[in-house]
Chain A
């Protein structure tokens, strides 16, 4: 089967660093995405990894290890506005290559 696991909830303090982990088991691999979703809003794209290693984009970084089926999203200098759900999503190597499997999301609470 195909499965994506990520923690349900995390809490962190404003100004701190938080790491949100994601493990996946899919039939093939064609890229991993992280999306941010504020309550009541649409998910928005944060990052994309297809090769092993770290991708940095401002305060957000995403890491991928294909051999371990593992990724993490690192948020630095946390701000209150970072309180949101973070969705890990994997695109398996399937016919057409369009399908994406989403994890249930990690709800991050940033406290003052």
Chain B
């Protein structure tokens, strides 16, 4: 079973600021996947990243970057030079590695508000 904590319920920043969304998870599995999703006001979930627990390399994709620390069970997400369009709810979601039909466990989400 997985458990995930997103301690920041809401974050408000001014455009162009950097912002980091924290995610701490608990799992008994030795191998697992970690996901981040974005949910804009429209409601549709947007896939951002999948990370295998074997791969501890940090990843950067444009203004997005992820810091995976297996030793502290954290998978934090940073948006650099935030924009108004980044305003959304962001969910961290671990999943075990027993197959593609495995369940995702969603965190409570962090609501990011980016203002001008």
Chain A complexes with chain B: no
Interface residues of A (CB under 8 A from B): none
